Amino acid sequence: MVRGIEGENIKKNGVMVGHGNFVENRQPEKHQYMNGRSYIIGRDAEIRRAASRSCSDSTSLPTPLLSVMEKFGAQKQKTDQAARKFATKRLAGLLFILIFLLLVSPLLTFSGVSGLQVVSSSDELARLDRVLKTLEKFDHSQGEAPALELERLVFSLKDKSELRQAAEKRLLEFFTSNFSRDARVAVSKPLSWIAGPETARALAGQLLDPEKSDPARYVLERIPGEEADKVLIEALDRAPAVVIPGIISSLGHRRAKAAVSPLEKLLRKNPSPQVVYNAIEALGNIGGDGATRILSGYLKSGDENLRLRAVDALLRIAGREIEDKNLKEAGAISNLLLGLRLTPAQRLAAWRVKILASGENYGREIQAALKSKDEMAQQAAIGLIPVLVPRDKIADYLGLFSGLPDNLQVQVAAALSNYPVPVAREYLLNLAEKSPSAEVRTEALVSLGNAGDYSVIEFLVRKAASARGKEKNAARESLLALRGKPVDDKILDLLAAGPEQSVRNELLLAACERNIRESREYFLKEASNPSADPALVSRGLRAFGDIGMAEELLKVAFSTEDETFREELAAIMAAWAKQSARPEARSTFFRNLLGKESDPGRQALLISIIGKIGERNSLPQLRSYLRVQNSVVREASLKALADWPEVEARDDLMEIIRTSADLKEKVLAVRGLVRLTASERYRRPEAVVESLKEIYSLSPRAEEKKLVLSAISDFPCQPALEFCQGLVSDPEVGPEARAALEKISQRLKR
């Protein structure tokens, strides 16, 4: 018997007997491949084929074969029935399991989750105990890690009701124990997250101990509910004098309304100045009629410091009254304060309260303040205009601004930046053009950047062209700040009108800053203008140009007499070419022109552009121009090779160094060759050093030798070290050799 598994061919007596699934054969059979698999062709196969043929022509089969076929069919029918029974039983079993899981799994899940929660809760509390144990001798100077771990742990469980109470109990027990102050401070913050009334009552005794009072107050300040207020208020009568100011501050922090009467009672006892100061601060935080009444009693105090503190506290109360829409109470406080002698800042704040407390009648109060001679009232009114006055009402106030002094006109200009409406723009334009104050003009120009539109472009451009210093910068900033396509279109329209050079420069600058691509034709046109700003033209062409403009720009480059500008134009065209989508054809346009050009100057420019592009397939053409007699063309070719970005030009430069008798050519070649050789950062340092040593030996001047030494220090190795050691006494390059030697030595020691 021969057996096999899927994927194996099985032979017996040199005959293939099976392939694929499990096979069992007792005699050699024919083997046939079909659709990539092997099949048995033999007696069983003939029976199966005969069975299939019986469907169409059973009478033509031999009698023995028909008998065999009938047996085979009967056997197959029994097998199919058994398979169906097995499948039915299996399906029933699966349905039973599924129903069981649906009925029982919720119970299992609930039980499992509960068990996990118990285990998880137990683990978290045990972890909390371990962390608290590490904090028993905690010292801030040793690091904050244990304190931070406690905070993370408590924060993770503070919203779990089943753990919060247990954690609070543990932290409170630790907090009230006799551990170090640093330990209590570390626990105070996480305790405050989960503390409740029970903790508040437990901390009452801690408040009276100067050593423990501050951490206890920290926790009490953050416990919700009246119990903490009660504990703090009761401590006022029993606490030592040293901790009373802190307790008062905590009551103010909590804004405890119930503390007003006890604080008034405490103030009648003529306490220390610190207690009085803290009580005034706390009453200002608590607010309400009682606090206002107590604080008003200090407004006529002979102690200026005390009086000003009371004013500040009342202003805070008035501010909260406005937030709570209690405008009548806030207005009463402002009227009370404005009848007193106040600091400028306090008077300004009092006027703001008065205007805000007027509610819907704010317009009347603002106009009254602007018409008054009180500068603080005017400042308060101007500052509140953007807060209270809608855009469609701003015209009602513009007439009141005209007579204000310059310092207030600056504030007016800043306020009007919030009003992008024609009347506000007109007022700002008038300020920017006619105000005698440079500060006012500058602020108006800045505000036009927010309140302006396309209609102010021409004014801003002319202002930028004529002004100096801060005004010029403000006008330029506003040209950039203005938004919308109409602004860009207006700039293009002004450029098309052909304004004077200074205005045109500002328009081109704005086009660059605003990234207006449609302006590129104006930059191309400006390139041929002798009065143009070359740097501005270069910036625009680099930003907006492309290789399609190269032909026109070449005409400009051929005609200009400014050699520096010509080189810049060559660099721009090379940059355009490098952006081409066809990497192997970036220099094709310029190489074709070079092949047709006969003028040496133009040939030199085209060679310069081709060299800056640095395309490999242009090297043969450049080499051919090294052999021409014209010195301008030859020098341009040599410069192109010396500036070549890749090492392909190294052999050409070495040949020039060895064969040329012209010092200038040698110098250019040496400098280019040093640069290329030093760029091979990933060659073996020894190989690079050998190349640099050869260049050194061929260098015509000390300057180039120094350049070689500077490069050789970037390739630390023993040959470099020995080479530099041999030159430390050289009168021409000794200092450079010593510097390179020191650098190489340091890098070899790493």
Q: What integer pLDDT is reported at residue 504 of this predicted model? A: 96
Nearest to 539 by CA among 563, 522, 554, 560: 522
Q: Which residues contact 73 (CB under 8 A, 6 or more apart)?
A: 51
Burial class (CB in 10 A: 0-12, 13-18, 19+), 101: exposed
Does 332 score more than 80 pLDDT?
yes
The pLDDT tens digits for 383-416 are 999 999 999 999 999 999 988 999 999 999 999 9
Nearest to 419 by CA among 397, 450, 441: 450
Quick one: average pLDDT of 659-678? 93
Phi, psi of 24 (to 5 degrees): -135, 120
The pLDDT tens digits for 119-170 are 467 888 999 999 999 999 898 888 899 999 999 999 998 888 888 999 999 9
- State percent of the chain over pLDDT 70: 84
Q: What integer pLDDT is reported at residue 77 of this predicted model? A: 53
Quick one: average pLDDT of 605-618? 93
CA 299 from centre of chain: 51
- Give the pair of three-digit tokens for residue 422: 């024609």
For residues 85 and 741, give the distance between their C-alpha atoms in angstroms, rounded to a whole number: 93
- Give the pair of three-digit tokens for residue 28: 């050699």
Domain ranges for the chain: 2-113, 546-645, 658-750
- Give the pair of three-digit tokens for residue 458: 């021409």
Give kind and range of the element (H or E) at residue 34: strand 30-34
Q: Strand, coil or helix: what is 16?
A: strand
Length of the chain in terms of residues written: 750
Q: What integer pLDDT is reported at residue 107 of this predicted model? A: 41
Record the pTM: 0.70
Does 298 score more than 90 pLDDT?
yes
Does 66 score more than 90 pLDDT?
no
Does 38 score more than 90 pLDDT?
no
The pLDDT tens digits for 339-378 are 999 999 999 999 999 999 999 999 999 999 999 989 999 9
For residues 592 and 606, give the distance between their C-alpha atoms in angstroms, rounded to a whole number: 10
Give kind and range of the element (H or E) at residue 25: strand 23-25
Average pLDDT of the chain is 86
- Give the pair of three-digit tokens for residue 509: 């600058």
Quick one: average pLDDT of 592-612? 94
- Give the pair of three-digit tokens for residue 111: 């039980």
For residues 541 and 537, give the distance between their C-alpha atoms in angstroms, rounded to a whole number: 6
Does 180 score more than 50 pLDDT?
yes
Beta strands in 137-192 (DSSP E): none
**What would be the CATH architecture of the domain defined by 546-645?**
Alpha Horseshoe (1.25)
Q: What integer pLDDT is reported at residue 68 of this predicted model? A: 36
- Give the pair of three-digit tokens for residue 641: 């090779």
Does 25 score more than 90 pLDDT?
no
As beta bridge partners, residue 30 has 41
The pLDDT tens digits for 495-506 are 999 899 999 999
Quick one: average pLDDT of 85-97? 64
**DSSP state letter for 247:** H
Does 64 score more than 60 pLDDT?
no
